[in-house]
Amino acid sequence: MKETIKNIPIADLYPFPDNPFSVREDTELSDSIRDYGVISPLVVRSRAEGGYEIISGHRRRAACEAARIEAVPAFVRELDDTAAVIALVDSNLHREHVLPSEKAHAYKLKLDAIKHQGVACGQSVHKSRDEIADSESGRQVQRYIRLCELMPPILSMVDEGKIAFSPAVELSYLPKKEQENLLETMESEDRTPSHAQAIRMRKLSADGQLDMDRIFRIMTEDKPNQKEQIKLKAESIQQFFPKGYSPRQMQETIMRLLAEWQLKREKAARNRDSR
């Protein structure tokens, strides 16, 4: 691959169109660049309209701008659109923190590029999926790509950890109107669906039976993870137990004392009633 390395003014660097990876503020990276400079050059390609398009290094460019660095070193590579997309995705998937939405859109972008490139001749869909990521199967890649079918507000809930990955995949099969009804119910009832509930809604949707009333009934069912819980920190109650008591011993003692307290309350109530 032909490439050169050169210092490029920050103003001449442009983000990659439809970059699926968000550029978050990174104060630590800015401080490092201010102290030691850019250790790893960016990867860019020339733009027909002038300047350079970033393939790898969007965060470094932002950090340099925050550190008031005027120019950065970069490898200038000759890449067509397909090769550029593949390089962009591959250079970012290794990040420590990649949101589900970022991975979903990145996998879709790369899959479309590989299929366009004709790598998978004859079995383009399944074989191409297997080439997307080294660490995940083609089936898992496709499950991530399904998330692209979610409405942005629901996909944001997946990124925030409010909806788990597996139920999110099931919900992606709901048409837009049903997703809108679900979102309205989740917001009004402050609940999110379990995997089992999401599977049921997907099946009802496929049968043409998922209306607002069905969604409401399903979402207002009691779930173990949405029942109110009481949590006691071990350090806050340790003083009331002998030294060396395990959490299990503490729990057993608390339950025994509560049972004794309940018996005393029932006995007191019977005595009041007999007067």
Stretch 237-263: mean pLDDT, rounded?
82
Instruction: State yes or no: pLDDT of 10 exceeds 80.
Output: yes
- pLDDT score recorded for residue 121: 45
Stretch 180-203: mean pLDDT, rounded?
95
Give me the torsion for CA of 251, 254, 259, 262, rounded to 10°: -140
* Statement: the pTM of the whole predicted model exceeds 0.85: no
Could you tell me if 177 and 212 are in contact, meaning their C-beta atoms sit under 8 angstroms apart?
Answer: no
Contacts of 163 by beta carbon, 8 Å cutoff, 6+ apart? 154, 157, 171, 192, 193
- pLDDT score recorded for residue 259: 86
Give me the torsion for CA of 118, 123, 125, 126, rounded to 10°: -130
123-127, 164-168, 243-247, 253-257, range with greatest mean pLDDT: 164-168
Please tell me the distance from the alpha carbon of residue 23 to that of residue 14, in angstroms, as a whole number.
13
Could you tell me if 170 and 200 are in contact, meaning their C-beta atoms sit under 8 angstroms apart?
Answer: no
Give me the torsion for CA of 226, 233, 257, 244, rounded to 10°: 140
Tell me phi and psi for residue 7, to 5 degrees: -85, 125
Q: What Cα–Cα distance (Å) separates residue 20 from each residue in 16, 71, 85, 168, 266?
A: 9, 25, 10, 19, 62
**Cβ neighbours around 205 below 10 Å, total:** 21
Please tell me the distance from the alpha carbon of residue 146 to that of residue 153, in angstroms, as a whole number.
15
**Cβ neighbours around 166 below 10 Å, total:** 13
- In this prediction, residue 120 has a pLDDT band, given cuts at 50, 70 and 90, of very low
Tell me phi and psi for residue 43, to 5 degrees: -120, 125
- pLDDT score recorded for residue 163: 95
Please tell me the distance from the alpha carbon of residue 43 to that of residue 50, in angstroms, as a whole number.
16
- pLDDT score recorded for residue 130: 67
